[in-house]
Chains A and B, each alone.
Chain A
Amino acid sequence: MTRIAIEDLAFRYPGAPSDTLSSLQLEICSGEAHALLGASGAGKTTLLNLLSGLLRPSSGRILFDGKDVSNLAPKLRNIAQVFQFPVLYDAMNVANNLAFPLRNFGFAPSDIESRVARIADELDLRSALDRKVSGLSLFEKQLVSVGKALIRPNVDVVLLDEPLTAVEPHRKWQLRQSLKRVQVDLGVTMIYVTHDQTEALTFADRVSVLTVDGILQTATPEAIYAEPSFEAVGSFVGSPGMDFVNVAGLSRVPSNLDASQKLGLRPEWVELCVPGDGMTAGVCDDIVVLGTAFGERVGIATVTTPAGTINVRTSGDVALGTQLGIRFKRAAVYRDTALVGSHEF
């Protein structure tokens, strides 16, 4: 239940020619589920290590509820961390694994018992308390790791480093839901680091997109997807990413827009039509089938137009190599790579 503030934070590895992180600003509210989304090499792990105290900033400060913790050793910061792979004592049962941090911190046995029971209830681990960790599935093990991170009642922030990597694919959402539920119930501040946009967008209250140029945008998942503040955010988020077309290359310039602008398009914001009927036209070079929906073949068609390449979500058969029109339903508007508004057609 702590507010985290990152002020002008910079970090350079010893001997490196440039900063890995520079002039980073971020505020995370108390009790917020925050995701840091970025490609590898963007500095996610470095930022996590600065938060946990494994690294010290070159300049700038990290504040927990207004208190400067930038130069405190990890054990003096009130944090807990969940790693990519479960870090547990295989030979102990679930109850003892959960109790371990409390024993280390010298909690009274009766307090330990009630806290373990509380967390086990939150995570549906009650029936597993007596089981050895070595016999659990990856999903259950990671659930215990989450429990272990949340076991101390006064933790300021829980750091999660790609916690779903090792979990069986069809159970990922369940762990995500358990995490969310416990995060809300206990009101704990969580920072979730991932390169996977689905995880970031489905888990977080707010998402920060981290690139080599710093944090480009901090916003709700809906805004990150529909109104990316920079072209780089738009192309990073979404699968495929947002396409950008030059207004100047369109068959006609829509009212309120000018030829120096670009339009950001999502595959579901555009549709195929007869040539001459849409905003632009082009030839479909490729189509990736996604499956079927209600009897129609569904896919993503890649169309090369004079304004740029556009990926269109399609339903029904699409002929490769033929001239197709593209109708726009909505678009985000950009000038010089920055968002300036949105447009409904």
Chain B
Amino acid sequence: MLELRGVRLKEDAAAFDHVFNAGEICVVLGANLAGKTDLCRLVAGLPTQASLATAVLDGVDLVSQPTRVRSVALVTQAFVNYPNWTVAQNIGSPIHARTSSRTIRARRSAKTATAERVDELAQALGLSDLLARYPHELSGGEQQRVALARALAKDARVLLLDEPLVNLDYKLREALQGEFKTLLHDRGTIVVYTTSEPHEAFALGDQALLLRDGELLQADAPLEVYCRPNSLDAMDLMSQPRTNRVAIANGTAAVRPEHISLQAIDDAITYQLHVIATETNGSESFVHGSCDGADWVVRQSGITVLQTGETVPVYVRREDLLEFSA
């Protein structure tokens, strides 16, 4: 368990507390500059503008520990590996650093243990055929897998993954996401995974922690945050594309793009949507338009094409229209 108290990610932001549980993946969701990287650097003990009051890892104070002895591993969005070492050496490097044995016998047995662990991790991440290669001979996805294997080799209590997939091709992202889920779950590790994509919170997260401008908006199970956001900002962060606004007395209401129907439904509120454009990607269509002066987008499964310029009725169930006070 990692307990953070008095986390202040930005100078003018309110401080917050959060507890990360062992064996859980906590997906930290936020836009650019929301403070996701600062949170990781804070836990890792790297220089950052952020600060915290206390950090306790499994009952032991973390703040007083120097960076290099903390049981924390960090994977960043840049693929960081030792360029002059092979994949096997890269993956094994944290184990070597840990076991600087004195006697020849101890060194020999440590060497075998290292090789076994490297093989095991390489297999789990599909790197077995690449162990003799150098990082520059690998694709981006392979380099990022090596970085992840090295982080796992450290067997740290806390694994920080700071937007690890952002620089990768979309198909690779999908494949690695699947691998992460199986690799990270059954180890009892505390995993902190940052992203700006809500679907990653659903795909990977046991918990979702939503950040905006350095402040904690909400922390709960992803589906809970999705169904019961505590603010308009939280609802927007967990929505792709952004939510649609409806002006109400004393505040704003909003509805998710996938909760608007083009077909009449029972007990629904009807709105008039002025269609600006329709986009489709094969499996889904996005109808962009305006409704009472607000920009709206309707997400439909399948292919729907509406004519630009036409005005159509759209339907929203009352319970899908969430109200927030101003």
The residues of A with any CB-CB pair to B shorter than 8 Å are 39-41, 169-170, 173, 176-177, 195-198, 201-202, 221-222, 224-226, 236-241, 266-268, 288-295, 297-298, 313
- 1/0 contact trace for B205-232 toward A, CB 8 Å? 0000000000000000011001100000
Q: Give 10 CB contacts A-B under 8 Å.
A: A39-B171, A40-B169, A169-B240, A173-B277, A177-B288, A197-B170, A201-B282, A221-B280, A292-B258, A294-B265
Give the residue among B170, B261, B301 with the most A Cβ atoms within 10 A.
Answer: B170
User: Do the beta carbons of A237 and B282 come within 8 Å of each other?
Assistant: yes
Answer whether residue B16 sits at the interface, using C-beta atoms and an 8 A cutoff. no
User: Do the beta carbons of B301 and A268 come within 8 Å of each other?
Assistant: yes
Answer whether residue B134 sits at the interface, using C-beta atoms and an 8 A cutoff. no
CA distance A221 to B285 in the complex (A): 12
CA distance A201 to B284 in the complex (A): 11
Chain B residues 270 to 313 lying within 8 A of chain A, measured CB to CB, are 276-277, 279-283, 286, 288, 297, 301-303
Q: Identify the stretch in B59-67, B72-80, B195-203 within 8 Å (CB) of chain A at 4 or more residues.
A: B195-203
Answer whether residue B172 sits at the interface, using C-beta atoms and an 8 A cutoff. yes
User: Do the beta carbons of B281 and A225 come within 8 Å of each other?
Assistant: yes
User: Do the beta carbons of B196 and A169 come within 8 Å of each other?
Assistant: yes
Query: Do A238 and B227 contact each other (CB < 8 Å), given the known contacts A40-B140, A173-B241?
Result: no
CA distance A197 to B303 in the complex (A): 16
User: Do the beta carbons of A293 and B281 come within 8 Å of each other?
Assistant: no
Answer whether residue B70 sits at the interface, using C-beta atoms and an 8 A cutoff. no
User: Do the beta carbons of A40 and B139 come within 8 Å of each other?
Assistant: yes
**B289 CB → nearest A CB, Å:** 12
- For residue A291, which residues in chain B have a CB less than 8 angstroms away from its CB? 202, 226, 256, 258
- For residue A290, which residues in chain B have a CB less than 8 angstroms away from its CB? 199, 202
- For residue A170, which residues in chain B have a CB less than 8 angstroms away from its CB? 241-242
3 smallest beta-carbon distances between A and B, as pairs: A225-B282, A202-B279, A195-B169
Query: Do A222 and B283 contact each other (CB < 8 Å), given the known contacts A239-B174, A268-B302?
Result: no
> Which one, A173, A177, A224, A297, contacts B282 given CB within 8 A?
A224
**B246 CB → nearest A CB, Å:** 18
**A172 CB → nearest B CB, Å:** 9
User: Do the beta carbons of A195 and B280 come within 8 Å of each other?
Assistant: no
- For residue A176, which residues in chain B have a CB less than 8 angstroms away from its CB? 279
CA distance A306 to B286 in the complex (A): 36
User: Do the beta carbons of A198 and B281 come within 8 Å of each other?
Assistant: yes
User: Do the beta carbons of B283 and A267 come within 8 Å of each other?
Assistant: yes
User: Do the beta carbons of A238 and B283 come within 8 Å of each other?
Assistant: yes
> Which one, A195, A225, A298, contacts B283 given CB within 8 A?
A225
Interface of A is mostly: mixed
User: Do the beta carbons of A173 and B226 come within 8 Å of each other?
Assistant: no
User: Do the beta carbons of A289 and B202 come within 8 Å of each other?
Assistant: yes
The chain A residue with its CB closest to the CB of B172 is: A39
- For residue A177, which residues in chain B have a CB less than 8 angstroms away from its CB? 276-277, 279, 288
The chain A residue with its CB closest to the CB of B177 is: A288
Answer whether residue B317 sits at the interface, using C-beta atoms and an 8 A cutoff. yes
Task: Using C-beta atoms within 8 Å of the partner chain, give the interface range for chain B.
Answer: 35 or more
Other than the given A173-B286, A198-B281, A239-B283, 10 more pairs (CB < 8 A) read A40-B140, A41-B139, A202-B281, A226-B282, A239-B174, A288-B202, A291-B202, A295-B317, A297-B223, A313-B301
User: Do the beta carbons of A294 and B317 come within 8 Å of each other?
Assistant: yes
Answer whether residue B117 sits at the interface, using C-beta atoms and an 8 A cutoff. no
CA distance A241 to B169 in the complex (A): 14
CA distance A169 to B279 in the complex (A): 15
**A285 CB → nearest B CB, Å:** 10
- For residue A222, which residues in chain B have a CB less than 8 angstroms away from its CB? 282, 303
Query: Do A294 and B259 contact each other (CB < 8 Å), given the known contacts A170-B242, A289-B223?
Result: yes
CA distance A240 to B177 in the complex (A): 12
The chain A residue with its CB closest to the CB of B297 is: A173
- For residue A41, which residues in chain B have a CB less than 8 angstroms away from its CB? 139
- For residue A240, which residues in chain B have a CB less than 8 angstroms away from its CB? 174
**A126 CB → nearest B CB, Å:** 19
**A129 CB → nearest B CB, Å:** 24
Query: Do A289 and B222 contact each other (CB < 8 Å), given the known contacts A225-B282, A294-B265?
Result: yes
Answer whether residue B12 sits at the interface, using C-beta atoms and an 8 A cutoff. no
- For residue B297, which residues in chain A have a CB less than 8 angstroms away from its CB? 173
Answer whether residue B11 sits at the interface, using C-beta atoms and an 8 A cutoff. no
User: Do the beta carbons of A241 and B283 come within 8 Å of each other?
Assistant: no
Answer whether residue B319 sits at the interface, using C-beta atoms and an 8 A cutoff. yes
- For residue B319, which residues in chain A have a CB less than 8 angstroms away from its CB? 295
User: Do the beta carbons of A221 and B282 come within 8 Å of each other?
Assistant: yes
- For residue B169, which residues in chain A have a CB less than 8 angstroms away from its CB? 39-40, 195
- For residue A289, which residues in chain B have a CB less than 8 angstroms away from its CB? 202, 222-223
- For residue B226, which residues in chain A have a CB less than 8 angstroms away from its CB? 291-292
CA distance A313 to B261 in the complex (A): 18
- For residue B202, which residues in chain A have a CB less than 8 angstroms away from its CB? 288-291
CA distance A225 to B319 in the complex (A): 34
> Which one, B170, B203, B279, B283, contacts A266 given CB within 8 A?
B283
CA distance A196 to B197 in the complex (A): 15
Give the residue among B241, B277, B319 with the most A Cβ atoms within 10 A.
Answer: B277
Chain B residues 245 to 271 lying within 8 A of chain A, measured CB to CB, are 256, 258-259, 261, 265
Query: Do A201 and B280 contact each other (CB < 8 Å), given the known contacts A268-B302, A294-B265?
Result: yes
**B159 CB → nearest A CB, Å:** 21
- For residue B303, which residues in chain A have a CB less than 8 angstroms away from its CB? 222
The chain A residue with its CB closest to the CB of B315 is: A294
**A202 CB → nearest B CB, Å:** 4
CA distance A75 to B13 in the complex (A): 51
